[in-house]
Amino acid sequence: MDGSWVLMALASMATNLPVVLVWVGGIIVAGLNLQTRRRGAILALCGLIGSLVLWLVMAPLSSLLPPLLIEMDLIEQLGLILGTISFLSSALSAVMWGLLIAAVFVKEPTDDDEIA
The reply to whether 84 falls in a domain is: yes
The reply to whether 43 falls in a domain is: yes
pLDDT of residue 68: 81
Nearest C-alpha neighbor of 105 from the set 31, 39, 9: 39
The reply to whether 100 falls in a domain is: yes
The reply to whether 112 falls in a domain is: no
Determine if the pTM surpasses 0.75: yes
Q: How far is CA 100 from CA 38, 43, 47, 93, in A?
A: 14, 6, 6, 11
The reply to whether 46 falls in a domain is: yes
The reply to whether 54 falls in a domain is: yes
Nearest C-alpha neighbor of 66 from the set 109, 8, 7, 112: 8
Evaluate if residue 6 carries a pLDDT over 80.
Answer: no
Q: Which domain holds residue 55?
A: 5-9+20-105
The reply to whether 116 falls in a domain is: no
Residue predicted with more confidence, 42 or 4: 42
The reply to whether 70 falls in a domain is: yes
On whether the CB atoms of residues 85 and 91 are closer than 8 A, the answer is no
pLDDT band at 4 (very low <50, low <70, confident <90, very high): confident
pLDDT digits (tens, 9 = 90+) for 76-100: 888 888 889 999 999 999 999 999 9
Nearest C-alpha neighbor of 47 from the set 29, 28, 23: 23
Count of the separate structural domains present in the chain: 1
pLDDT of residue 45: 97
pLDDT digits (tens, 9 = 90+) for 10-68: 787 788 899 999 999 999 999 999 999 999 999 999 999 999 999 999 888 887 888 88
